[in-house]
Structure 1
Amino acid sequence: MRARNKLTALQIRHLESGKYNDGGGLWLQKRPDGGGQWFLRITVHGRRREMGLGGLQDVSLAEAREEADRWRSVVRANKDPIKERARIRREAEREDHTLASITDQAFRARKADLKGDGKAGRWLSPLNMHVLPKLGRVPIEMIDQQDIRNTLIPIWHDKVHTARKAMNRLDIVIRYAAAMGLDVDIQAVEKAKALLGRQRHVTRNIPAVHWRNVPTFYTSLSEPSVGNLALRLLILTAARTSEIRFCHESEIQDDVWVIPADRMKAGKEHRIPLPCQALELLDAAGTWQRNGFFFWNRRSVISDAAMSSIMKRREMEERPHGFRSSFRTWCAEATDTPREVAEIALAHSVGGKVEQAYRRTDYLDQRRDLMQSWADHVTGGA
């Protein structure tokens, strides 16, 4: 029988870099910086393998010997200890009931309901930013209203919408855990809200340029920069900034811009009839076009701030998203456009589920005339 326990703790502290045998297949590889790694040499099914047992800083000599004994017994049972350890870890992960683990499972269960399968990360971001750093490693069965209150109180009044989203997501995760059969308090979120109290928040609409002043602002965007062209298209189409940024040549079908469902906030395909001014603008944007995207800037599409920064530099309070309000107010005050047509032009849902099931039109022809009239107003043509 091979000799064992050749090393001592005192020897190990003074060993030079190199490999040292403690006996029975247990080895220590010492590094020049004083650190090291324990590993066990074993023969399994005729193959010699090396199994890491941890770093010298974390695993003592006595612990390394204990681990070596444990895995030698697995070898004697004619099993591969490396595969056996992986199996044990997988089983442990399946029993991982921390908030972080359950959040991941709940998110994967909801992916089909989220825009783009949740790849943008917006569903998880309130939890990743404000909850999981503090509670992620806590078993979900141990989380109560006090934990939630203490975690969210720093943002409860200052980041109202984010706090609400975090609460909503956390409630979904806890209810998912309850469905798994875990012993959680499904009322914990509601109790935490009671402890936090009413939020101090006054809703403030995004400032918008008055529709009468839109032509003047549009004319001021005369320099054919990529940001100006993108902002002009946003004004002409009443689209959202994200829809404009990722506008792709494959989405333009004759005079209609077809935005796929995975790029829309509501998760439904949206068609925008393009007025002649918008089609001319897309031709002009060809200078900036790369990889099929109309608004490309160096290595990617323009940033989310590219259009708003134009308005900020002019010290304007208004923001690009406000032009959707400018358009909608123009529809109400300067035209006799039916409400449902104006709302669908903004990709808003109109009516309940039953009404939507029976109304199988997006009023494309009516909206074609509407968008041309808006473009004529914006460009001074009417």
Structure 2
Amino acid sequence: MRTARVLTPLEVRQKSEAIGEHNVGGVAGTLLLVVRKTQAGEISRAWKFVIRAGGTKQTFGLGRYTYKQQVGAVTLAEAREKAQKIREDILEGRDPRAGVSQEVKSDKPAEHTLDELFPKYFAYCEKMNLWKSPKMLPDYERLYRLHISPGLGGKGVNEVTPAAIAQVLTPLLIRSPSTGKKAQHLLSPFFRWCLRLENSYRSPALGNPATSEVLKDRLPKAGQCKATTHHPMCHLEDLPRFVQLLVESGRVNDVGGMACLFILLTASRQGNVIKNSRAGAKCHAVWADIDKRRALWTIPAQKMKVAANGAHVVPLSKQALAILSRLEALGMSSDEDALFRSLRGKVVGEAACARIIKNLSVRDREAGGNGFVDKEQGGRLMTMHGTARAAFQTWAAEQGYSRDLTEAALHHTKGGNGDAYLRTKYAEQRRQMMQVWADFLFSECPKDWAKFRAK
């Protein structure tokens, strides 16, 4: 009978890179290192011991291969020791499977559903400070609840296959490519976390079913997906008329109308000014962040979409300061109070801005205009976010402002947003730019509203 050559640990490690069953020798019977490609496209490495007893071939799984000491994995020496123990049990008339099956059972990951594991994963990410911004957690929780849980939440973590993930992601990618990509970007690190040795929720042999490499041939191509749409914006030629109508309609005396103007004047994200369900309840502007003497609004990093970019300091134009003065006249200037809140103390929400936009658009059409719609998006009604951000960016480019200056104003770049930065000449350029932008917005307002115009 041919005896297998006894391989060294280094030789076995080299064999572990080749697909197949490799006899490593060193024990009576056949001790194999089985290297396979999983259905997820990843490589699995496990030990298998084959021995003949009483004319019957018996096969035993000995665990996952590792070349160094790891919890839940088996080295070459340990595999040989286990195989020898099985052989001795058989020769002495004992049933080796009693011990082995118990051992295998203890190594087997518990079958948890995704609905059970995702809260643990979110807690882990928060504990390890893996979110770029505090607002990412509620965003991802909402994404999971609406788009992933209905199709995968009830499945055991070992039951989820690339095909099951593709079945969930495909309609989502076709309908909303950006949401589909976010869902995939959430699933891939989640399964990577499940495969970690300290968790062992998912069997290593199954691999990660949500990587781009595994899913690339299962998901729709870019041409099959709906084109990415942006937030509809009011076009620049219509924007001064929008502000004019807002002023003339008297909405400028409402807290909601003033909030709309402040968002436009500061080119801010809506959630940093008023209450936004996606941004989080405590991301809106408060009086403690305002420095009227220096005409600055400092938004703490934790309130920003990308907290890693640091705090965002916004130079306030004369028009923005005038709005703050009107709010103070209404008795709304306590440090911890929201800038824009009703007399009952409720923070103005995004629905208030949406109603104002809709009403002003109707008034414009009644006056012979086209309403405040985005013509490039099939006439969709403008949004405050799309207008405050995209329209400002377009205007700045047309006015010849540098990209760096514009990106700093939109908090798209790291650094350069602290007090030291504001003391530089570059900061003065930002202040001048925001004032010119404010003058443009109010350029069609009636003269009796001159207090809102730059002097």
CA shift, 1:177, in A, is: 1.1
- Determine the structure 1 residue equivalent to 2:286: 248
Q: Residue 345 of structure 1: which of 409, 431, 444 is its match?
A: 409
Match of residue 438 from structure 2:
375
SS at match of 1:365: helix
Which range is displaced more, 363-372 or 309-318? Answer: 309-318
Aligned 8 A contact 1:215 1:379 in 2:
yes
User: Which amino acid letter does the alignment assign opposite residue 301 of structure 1?
Assistant: V
Contact 2:131 2:137 in 1 (8 A): no
Contact 1:288/1:294 (<8 A) preserved: no
Find the partner of 2:208 among 174, 186, 189. 186
The aligned amino acid for 2:235 is H
Aligned to 2:228: 203
Instruction: Give the distance between the partners of 1:221 and 1:205, measured in 2 at CA.
Output: 24
Output the CA distance in 2 between the equivalents of 1:197 and 1:215: 42
8 Å CA contact retained: 1:288, 1:296:
no
Q: Secondary structure at the match of 2:350?
A: coil
CA positional deviation for 1:175 = 1.0
Letter in 2 for 1:207: P
Q: Distance in 2 between matches of 1:275 and 1:96?
A: 59
Separation in 1 of the partners of 2:261 and 2:142? 31
Maintained 8 Å contact 1:126/1:163: no
- 2:217 partner letter: A
CA distance in 2, matches of 1:214, 1:115: 33
Deviation, 1:300, is 2.6
How many angstroms does 1:379 deviate by? 1.9
Out of 293, 297, 301, the position equivalent to 1:261 is 301
Task: Give the partner amino acid of 1:361.
Answer: Y
Contact 1:260 1:270 in 2 (8 A): yes
Q: Aligned to 1:175, which of 178, 192, 198?
A: 192
Corresponding residue of 2:118: 103
Partners of 1:115 and 1:262 within 8 A in 2: no
Q: Does 1:361 align with 2:421?
A: yes
Residue 205 to residue 233, structure 1, CA distance change in 2 (3 Å): same
Which digits, 9 at most, give the CA deviation of each residue in 1:111-147, with x for residues without a partner? 2232554576102222121222332232212210122
Distance 1:262 1:216, change over 3 A: same
> Contact 2:172–2:180 (CA<8 Å) still a contact in 1?
yes
- 2:257 is the alignment partner of 1:228: yes
Task: State the partner residue of 2:337.
Answer: 292
Residue by residue over 1:342-368, the C-alpha shift from the partner in whole angstroms, topping out at 9 and shown as x without a partner, is 110111127xxxx989xx836422211
- Amino acid paired to 1:328: Q
**Distance change in 2, residues 1:237/1:175 (3 Å):** same
CA drift of 1:270 comes to: 0.2
* 1:189 CA displacement: 4.5
What is the CA-CA distance between 1:319 and the residue it aligns to? 1.7
Q: Contact 2:340–2:348 at 8 Å: present in 1 too? A: yes
Q: Provide the rounded CA distance (Å) in 1 between the counterparts of 2:331 and 2:161.
A: 53
- Sort the Cα spacing of 1:212 and 1:135 in 2 relative to 1 into closer, same or farther, 3 A: closer
Q: RMSD in angstroms over aligned alpha carbons?
A: 2.9
**Per-residue deviation at 1:96?**
6.0
Unmatched 5+ stretches in structure 1:
1-93
Which deviates more, 360-369 or 158-167? 360-369
Q: Secondary structure, in 3 states, of the residue corresponding to 2:268?
A: coil
Change (3 A) 1:327 1:156: closer
| Contact 1:259–1:270, Cα closer than 8 Å, also in 2 | yes
Instruction: List aligned pairs for 1:3-82, cutoff 5 A.
Output: none
CA distance in 2, matches of 1:235, 1:337: 18
Determine the C-alpha separation between the residues in 2 that align with 1:140 and 1:325. Answer: 41
**Structure of higher RCO (CA pairs closer than 8 Å, 6+ residues apart):** 2
Deviation at 1:192, TM superposition (A): 4.1
| Native 8 Å contact 2:316 2:434 kept in 1 | yes
Deviates more, 1:269-278 or 1:155-164: 155-164
Shift of 1:105: 2.6
Aligned residue type for 1:368? R
In the TM superposition, residue 216 of structure 1 has moved relative to its aligned partner by: 2.1
Distance 1:367 1:227 in 2: 27
Q: Which residue in 1 is equivalent to 2:394?
A: 329
The CA distance in 1 between the partners of 2:145 and 2:217, in whole Å, is 23
TM-score, length of structure 2 as denominator length = 0.56
**Inter-CA distance 227–158: structure 2 relative to 1 (3 Å threshold):** same
Distance 1:311 1:195, change over 3 A: same
1:238·1:324 contact (CA, 8 Å) conserved in 2?
Answer: yes
Count residues in correspondence. 283
Q: Distance in 2 between matches of 1:140 and 1:169?
A: 15
